[in-house]
Amino acid sequence: MRKNVLLFFTLFFISITFCQEKVSAFKGGEELRYKMSYSGFLRAGTAVLKVEEKEYQGNKVFHTVGKGWTSGMIKWFFAVDDRYESYFDRDTIKPYIFKRKIDEGGYKKHRITSFNYGSNNAYIQDFISQKDTSVSFVDVQDMLSSFYYLRNQNVENMDEGDEIAIDMFMDSEIYPFKLRFLGKETIRTKFGKIKTLIFRPFVQSGRVFKAQESVTLWITDDSNKIPVKIKADLAVGSLRAELESYKGLVGPFVKN
């Protein structure tokens, strides 16, 4: 179960991802809070995403912070305390800086990645191993900027089985990341009935994300395109994230 919780927190920050043509699906001041549970009843933890408008080296950027932590009984035997940060361009959503500081049951990572678009090189500072590296890239998103980048894609004309693909930069490597559109569904939530778009994240087999084929995402079918439910089916039980609260949305939260 420890590995399941670790996997789900990683999947959450990779796959909370979606969809319009301009940078209009979100704005500074947006905050999303999610409740995580195991097998639908045992609370496993909390995840929060916040975004603010700032300036970075003379550029207008969005600064987003994603935090996740375990709670209750889960925390007794497997404590998670994760923090992710991304500074990305307000217009192009190209990432400038990505920070990852995690402690998952004693497994720790603390890295800062800087993206240089003049040389197309990403410079990674690893504060745990005390080793810095440089990796070339062409067109990538980090784990958090991908969430906001994909929310601004046009999905109005997507058919079942259509896919959205990006290259994701994580841990000094570039991974092909895809989302498959499964259709539409009206689901019950704590906020009432909500019309949603259903997606399934997956990557090429043989990569570290092979378990993502069991993950399903329900995204609001409105101008915000925010995840309201994420479910991962496991060999034993399931892990789930559900929207617990929200504020600062760019558009009305449409209910059925």
Tell me: the pLDDT tens digits for 224-237?
999 999 987 766 66
User: Taking 60 as the threshold, does the pLDDT of residue 2 lie above it?
Assistant: no
Residues 198 and 183: beta-carbon distance below 8 Å: yes
The span from the CA of 36 to the CA of 71, in Å, is: 9
Residues 6+ apart with CB under 8 A from 3: none
Give the tokens for residue 44: 């496993």
**Could you say which DSSP state residue 38 is in?**
E
| Every domain of the chain and the residues it spans | 2-247
pLDDT tens-digit profile of 195-214? 999 999 874 443 333 455 67
- pLDDT of the residue at 207: 37
Instruction: From the options 2.60.40, 1.10.760, 2.40.360, 3.30.720, give the CATH code of 2-247.
Output: 2.40.360
- pLDDT of the residue at 204: 44
Place of tokens 């975004």: 51
pLDDT tens-digit profile of 26-68? 999 999 999 988 776 678 899 999 999 999 999 999 999 999 9
- pLDDT of the residue at 208: 33
How long is the chain?
Answer: 256
The span from the CA of 163 to the CA of 144, in Å, is: 20
**What is the pLDDT averaged over residues 102-119?**
93
User: Taking 80 as the threshold, does the pLDDT of residue 13 lie above it?
Assistant: no
The span from the CA of 15 to the CA of 10, in Å, is: 9
- pLDDT of the residue at 83: 96
Residue of 178 and 186 predicted with greater confidence: 186
- pLDDT of the residue at 210: 41
The span from the CA of 207 to the CA of 119, in Å, is: 27
- pLDDT of the residue at 76: 80
The alpha carbon of residue 204 and the mean position of all alpha carbons in its chain are separated, in whole angstroms, by 18
Model confidence at 148, in pLDDT bands (50, 70, 90)?
Answer: very high
**What is the pLDDT averaged over residues 217-230?**
94
- Share of residues in the chain with pLDDT > 70 (%): 84
pLDDT tens-digit profile of 74-87? 788 778 899 999 99
Average pLDDT, the chain: 85
